[in-house]
Amino acid sequence: MPNSTSVHAAGTSTVPVLAVPGKIIAVHLNYPSRAAQRGRTPEQPSYFLKPASSLSSSGAPVERPDGCELLVFEGEIALVIGRRTHGVSPEEGWAAVSHVTAANDFGVYDLRYADKGSNLRSKGADGFTPVGPALLPAADLDPAGLRIRTWVNGTLVQEDTTADLLFGFGRLVADLSQLLTLEPGDLILTGTPAGSSVVVPGDTVEVEVDAPGAPGAPRTGRLVSPIRQGTVPFGAFGAGPRVDDLQRTEAWGSAEAAGLAPASAPAAGTAAEPPPFDLTPELKARINSVGTATLSAQLRKRGLNAVSIDGLGSTRPTARLVGRARTLRYIPAREDLFESHGGGYNAQKRAFDALGPDDVLVIEARGERGTGTVGDILALRAQVQGAAGIVTDGGVRDLAAVAALEIPTYHAGPHPAVLGRRHVPWDTDLTVACGGASVQPGDVIVGDADGLLVIPPHLVEEVVAAAIVQEREETFIAAMVAAGHGVDGLYPMNAEWKARYRVWLEEQA
C-alpha cells in the first residue's frame, strides 16, 4: 500500500481519497490519563516522525516482527492537513485541518533501546500506522468534542475524549508550523490515552473516532487491525530485539499486567505488603501526643536501639511527621543500568505515583549527597497524593521550592545535580537502609524536631501506650522540679514519690 489508502470521506464514493502523506508526525504525550500513567506531564508538546511506508488501512494485518515480544497498540485521532500551512497561530491551527480519522500508532518495545528516542525502528515498520476507515470533515466538528475508543478482541480497553487534552489540536498545528511547512495530506497523530498495552498474534485491535455531541453523531467506523506473526528473522547486521522487565512493564502498562512480580515485590526475606495494621486517626493522635525522645526511650527498653534515621534535616522542622513507610531504593550509577532503568516510567516515578494518604516515602540513597534524589515536581506529586512525608538520606534538588510545600521532606542536604549523576532508580517497596536504619514497608515513621524513628507495626500500640504513661510521669516530675524539689529520688521516682504521683493523678482526673 505505498500509493494510497482505502480511507474515504464519510458519505463519499469508494474512490481512495487519502494519498500517502509527505509527513506523518506523532505526538508523544497529550492525554492527561496517559501522562499520569507515564509519570510525567510535559510543559510543551514533543513529536517524532513515522515513515510514510508505515501507513496501512483497515483490515490490513499488522505483523509482530519475528523474535519480538512486545507489540503495543495506541489508538489515536489523526488530523489530515488540508492546505499548505506555515506560521499560523493556535487560533488558526484548526482551520488548517481538513479531516479527522482514526489511527493506531503500533510499536515494538523490543527495539526502543536501539532508537535513542527516534522511534524509527520501534514504530516505523511497514503497516505500523493503520488509519481509517472513514474521514470526518473537520469543518463539521468541535475539536474538543471528539471521542477515541479502542477494542481488543471485542473488549473496550481505551476510551477518552478531547475535552481536556494537554495540547489542543490548533496548538499542535501552530507549534509544528513554526518550523515545518505542513502540506496537504500530512498526518498528525495526536497521542493516545491510558490503556495502551501489548497484543499478540491472533488478536484483533479496533479503533474508532466519533463526535457524540455533533449533529448526526458522525463516526469513522472501526479501524480493524488483525495481528499476525512475522516469520523473517532479524539479520546480525543490525540491532535485534531486546527486552527487560522495565520494557515489559512499560509496554503492558504495569508489572502486574505483564505477569511479572509487581515492581513492589521484594526479594526473599523482605516485606511484600505492609502487615495488617490500621493507622487510625485516633492512633495517630496518640502518637502525636508524645515526642520522639519518649518513643525512643520505650523502644530502647524493648531492645530496639537501631531505629533512628540519623543525619537528616527537615524542610519543615516544626511539623510533626507520622505515617507508614513506602520505600524506594537507588543503586550506584552505572551507565548501562541507567539506560535500561533510569528513563521512562522508572522506579522513582512509580514510587511517587503509588503514594497515598499517610504514606511516607523512605528513600535509600546510601548517604550520597552529591546529587538530587527528589525535586519539586515529585515532592508536589507526593503532596497532591496526600502523602505524609518524604525521607531521603541523599540530596534534594530545588530545595527552596520543596521547602515551600506543606509536605515535610527530610534530607541530607541540597544539591543541583540530576538523579543520574550518582544513582539508578532500582526498585520499590522492599526493605531499605536509610540514615543508618533498616526500614520495611509498613513500618511506622515518626518525626519531629528531635529526629526520625522507625517503629515496627506490631509494637506501635504497646510503645505508644507506654510513652503516654512515661510523659505523664515526666509532666509530674517537671512540676515538682519547678516547685523547687531536687531530682534525687524524684527522677526516677522512688516509692515515696510514686505514692505522691498516684495522688496527683487522682487530682488530675
pLDDT value of residue 266: 46
Phi-psi region of 337 (alpha: psi -120 to 50; beta: other; left: phi over 0): alpha
* Helical axes 460-482 vs 281-288, angle rounded to 10°: 40
**Residue 376 assigned as binding residue:** yes
User: Closest Cα to residue 245, out of 70, 60, 25, 373?
Assistant: 70
Task: Consult the annotation and say whether 397 binds a ligand.
Answer: yes
Structural domain ending residue among the three candidates 252, 271, 289: 252
Same domain flag for 145 and 38: yes
Determine if residue 309 is labeled as part of a ligand binding site: no
Yes or no: say if 54 and 127 are a contact pair by the CB < 8 Å rule. Answer: yes
State residue 245's pLDDT score.
80
Residue 234 placed within a domain: yes
Domains in the chain: how many in total?
A: 3
The verdict on 232 and 372 lying in the same domain is no
Q: Does residue 136 have a known ligand-binding role?
A: no
Do 93 and 209 belong to one domain? Answer: yes
The verdict on whether residue 127 carries a ligand-binding annotation is: no
Half-sphere exposure of residue 161, counting CA atoms within 13 Å on the CB side? 10
Dihedral sign computed on CA atoms, order 99, 104, 106, 112: positive
What sign has the CA pseudo-torsion 225, 229, 232, 238? Answer: positive
Nearest to 494 by CA among 466, 469, 473, 465: 473
Do 451 and 467 share a domain, yes or no? no
Check whether residue 314 and residue 423 sit in a common domain.
yes
Which CATH number characterizes residue 440's domain?
A: 3.50.30.40
Closest CA to 48 of 121, 114, 109: 121
Confidence (pLDDT) at 263: 43
One domain, residues 309 and 191: no
Question: Does the residue 48 lie in any domain?
Answer: yes
The predicted pLDDT at position 261 comes to 53
Instruction: Say yes or no: 366 and 478 in one domain.
Output: no
- At position 180, the amino acid (one-letter code) is L
Backbone conformation region of residue 349, classed left if phi is above 0, alpha if psi is from -120 to 50, else beta:
alpha
Does any domain span residue 56?
A: yes
Q: What is the pLDDT along the chain (509 residues), one digit of tens a residue?
A: 334 455 555 543 333 346 678 999 999 999 988 887 777 788 899 999 999 999 999 999 999 999 999 999 999 999 999 999 999 999 999 999 999 999 999 999 999 988 877 899 999 999 999 999 999 999 999 999 999 999 999 999 999 999 989 999 999 999 999 999 999 999 999 999 999 999 999 999 999 999 998 999 999 999 999 999 999 989 989 888 988 888 888 888 877 787 775 444 444 444 444 445 788 899 999 999 999 999 999 999 999 999 999 999 999 999 999 999 999 999 999 998 998 888 888 999 999 999 999 999 999 999 999 999 999 999 999 999 999 999 999 999 999 999 999 999 999 999 999 888 899 999 999 999 999 999 999 999 999 989 999 999 989 999 999 999 999 999 999 999 999 999 999 988 888 888 898 888 888 86
Both 101 and 213 in a single domain?
Answer: yes
Q: How far is CA 446 from CA 218, 313, 456, in A?
A: 58, 14, 11
Residue 419's closest CA among 494, 315, 347, 311? 347
CB atoms within 10 A of CB 508: 9
| Cβ proximity of 411 and 428 under 8 Å | no
Decide if 272 is inside a domain: no
Same structural domain for residues 424 and 479?
no
pLDDT the model gives residue 3: 42
pLDDT of res. 152: 95
Rounded-to-integer distance, Cα 436 and Cα 285, Å: 27
Are 316 and 227 contained in the same domain?
no
Q: What is the CATH number of the domain that holds 189?
A: 3.90.850.10
What integer pLDDT is reported at residue 372 of this predicted model? 93
Q: Evaluate whether residue 6 is within a structural domain.
A: no
269 lies in a domain? no
Q: CA-CA distance, 353 to 451, in Å (whole number)? A: 26
- Please tell me whether 398 is known to bind a ligand: yes
Q: Which residue range(s) make up the domain with 481? A: 462-508
Assigned domain for 271 exists: no
Residues 149 and 132 grouped into a single domain: yes
Burial class (CB in 10 A: 0-12, 13-18, 19+), 254: middle
Residue where one domain finishes, among candidates 458, 480, 500: 458
Does a structural domain hold residue 468?
A: yes
> Do both 223 and 341 map to the same domain?
no
